[in-house]
Structures are given as C-alpha cells and as structure tokens.
Amino acid sequence: MLKFGIIGTNWITQQFVDAAVESGEWQLTTVYSRHADTAQAFADKNHAAETFTDLDEFFSQGSFDTVYIASPNSLHFAQAKQAIAYGKHVIVEKPAVTNQREFEQLDAVLAAHPDVRLFEAARQIHEVNFKRVKEQISKLAMVQGATLTYMKYSSRYDAVLAGEEPNIFSLNYAGGALQDLGVYLAYDAVGWFGMPEEVAYYPTLTRTGVDGKGVAILRYADFTVTLNVGKTSNSFLPSEINGARDAIVMDNPAELGQVTYQDNDGNAHNIGVAPDDNPMLAEARDFAAVINDPAKYQADYLAWRQLSRNVNKLLFNLRQSAHLTFTGETPATDE
C-alpha cells in the first residue's frame, strides 16, 4: 500500500482520496490544513492517523511517501518544490505551474532527486475515452479542425458578483477560466494534435481582473482548433473534431462521457466506454503503477511529463497573447 498525505481539504481532495482508496493502491495517512480543526475533521472522516498545520513538519515528520496537492493554483509550484526536496513523490493538481521557468525549476529539483516522481493530475488523459479519441483521430483521412467547449457557471462567480474575490477568480492565486477549465482543453489540444504553431486568446474579464470566459485560437499547419472556456456562463454545446465528411463528437471534452464517431454516411458509432463513477480513479491507478514499478512505466511517465511541459507552455503563451498577468509576474521576461 502506498502512503499519501494531502494539502488542501476542499471537495476535490475528497474525490481524489475516494478514488485512491477505491483503487486499492493507496492509504491516506496524513492531512495538512492551515486549520487544526479542518485537518482533524478530514482525517477522522478518512481514517488518517496524522494531522499537521505546519508545512515543514508535515513534510519532515509525516509518514507518507507521496503528497497530493490541491491548494490554490499559485501555491502549487512552491509546495511541489518543497515536497520534492523532502524526497516525496508529488501529485499536483492542474495547472502544475504558472510559467515555464517554474516548470524548469521543478525539473532541476527532480534531477537532484532521481527516484522522486512528479505527476500533474490531468485526470482525463488517463481515461480510456481520451485514448479512444486519439486513436480515432489517427484513422481520419484528414483533420480539418476542432471546436472544444467547456463552460460551466461557477457558484463562486456569485461571490464575485457580490463583491468578493474567491481564489479561482483572483489574480493573486493565478485564477481564471483558462487556468481552470481551460487546462482540460489545453490537454485535449496538445494531447491529440501536438503543439500549435501560433496561438491567441480573447478573454472576457471579470470585475476581479481574471478571464471569466474566453476564446482561444490554436493555429496548426493545416487547421485551427478553437477552445471555448468559461466559468461565468453555461454552455450545452457538444464538442467536435472535424474530418472531411466525418467527425468525432463528444458530449464534453473534459468529462468525455459520450464519444461518437460520425462516419462519412452520417452513421454514429459509439467509440467510448462508460466512464468510471469517480473520474480520478484512472489517474490514481496510473500514478500508483509508476511508483510501484518505475522502470516498467518510465516511458509513460516521461510522456506525461512532456505533455505537462507543453500544456503549461501553451497556457502561458495564451495568457501572454492576452496580456493577462498574475500578481507578482514579470511576463516580458518569462519566455
């Protein structure tokens, strides 16, 4: 059994803990929270033995080998770096970093700790349907483009409208639609089509200065991919990858619940499988496999790292195209 600790005690951590336990590979031993009572409540609910409110003590005294980090975006880099320095494997929520310099710094710390593994928790790339779409793309006679839409009204936008500034809508915490739901779309685009040649992002800003929604255009050699992302309105559109007469149609490009190939004659073929009830189960299994047998799964691990590197670069380039900078950033010198 792999022992893990957690940073962040919101619902996404509970969902990951549930997936980890369901996989049969993981045991939660240690909970970090800024508040002792929050840590204790989470630990009690999930049968964890240890709680900490001090990060250094969490890393130095906690009896775990892997940390799952689900703190606000702007904290991921420093917490991941600290964890690696303590020799812990890291599963860090997306987005892992906010710029390439941070990614390279993590690479440097990893180089000094060659046995440590760092995973960006991009859950959908571990799911069968993500791979099915990729296989189907390779069978298309030609790709003419894609339109991927992920727009979900966030209950936290109510707080923005009420004059507050929740983390995910704050420049102080590297928030915004692109850094949230946009990460899934970036993983789709880069995972399925590779890195684009040219990108542009057209955001609609909220009162707090982040992109509440936006449209990204990714130009490839022979086609363009359009990403519609938003947290300030709902969209009920499906997403599609266009061949010539045929297309791949998805109910949602992050959830990938239903994936269909629409052939040249207009017939629809289901090419997906029913998704797991817990969408984090596949990644929990994959991360455990790499840690348990690093040599066997090294190629997978390196491919995920490369994808993560490219996705974070794409997100940064999109932000830069829209002159969207987070608190404390010096964008002109970041690339």
Ligand X SMILES: NC(=O)c1ccc[n+]([C@@H]2O[C@H](COP(=O)([O-])OP(=O)(O)OC[C@H]3O[C@@H](n4cnc5c(N)ncnc54)[C@H](OP(=O)(O)O)[C@@H]3O)[C@@H](O)[C@H]2O)c1
CA triple 98-102-107, angle to 5 deg:
135
Sign of the torsion formed by the C-alpha atoms of 186, 188, 194 and 198? negative
Return the residue of 70, 110, 185, 288 that touches ligand X, per CB under 6 A. Answer: 70
Return the residue of 5, 8, 176, 212 that touches ligand X, per CB under 6 A. Answer: 8
Residue 253 engages ligand X in binding (rule: CB under 6 A): no
x-or-dash pattern for ligand X, window 11-40, by CB under 6 A? Answer: -x--------------------xxx--x--
Residues 118 and 25: their CA atoms lie apart, in Å, by 17
CB-wise, 149 or 242, nearer to ligand X?
149
CB of 40 to ligand X, least distance (A): 11
109 exposure class (CB count in 10 Å sphere: 0-12, 13-18, 19+):
middle
With contacts defined by CB under 6 A, how many residues of the chain interact with ligand X? 20
Residue 45 engages ligand X in binding (rule: CB under 6 A): no
Instruction: Name all contacts of 44-51 with Cβ < 8 Å and 24+ positions apart.
Output: 46/14, 46/17, 46/21, 50/5
Residues 258-277 touching ligand X, rule: CB under 6 A, are none
Return the residue of 14, 55, 72, 276 that touches ligand X, per CB under 6 A. Answer: 72
Return the residue of 144, 167, 224, 258 that touches ligand X, per CB under 6 A. Answer: 167
Of 92, 27, 91, 83, which Cα lies nearest the Cα of 58?
A: 83
Which residues have a Cβ under 8 Å from the Cβ of 198 and sit 6 or more positions away?
218, 219
Residues 74-133 touching ligand X, rule: CB under 6 A, are 75, 93-94, 121, 123
3 strand-pairing partners? 27
Applying CB under 6 A, the span of 8-16, 78-86, 189-197, 296-304 interacting with ligand X comes to 8-16
CB-wise, 8 or 214, nearer to ligand X?
8
CB-wise, 3 or 152, nearer to ligand X?
152
Return the residue of 168, 171, 248, 256 that touches ligand X, per CB under 6 A. Answer: 168
Applying CB under 6 A, the span of 2-10, 43-51, 82-90, 301-309 interacting with ligand X comes to 2-10
Residues 184 and 334: their CA atoms lie apart, in Å, by 23
CB of 15 to ligand X, least distance (A): 7
CB of 42 to ligand X, least distance (A): 7
Tokens at residue 115, please?
């046995």
CB-wise, 121 or 247, nearer to ligand X?
121
CB-wise, 34 or 45, nearer to ligand X?
34
Residue 71 engages ligand X in binding (rule: CB under 6 A): yes
CB of 112 to ligand X, least distance (A): 25
CB of 3 to ligand X, least distance (A): 20
CB-wise, 241 or 280, nearer to ligand X?
280
Where along the sequence are the contacts to ligand X (CB under 6 A)?
8-10, 12, 33-35, 38, 70-73, 75, 93-94, 121, 123, 167-168, 180
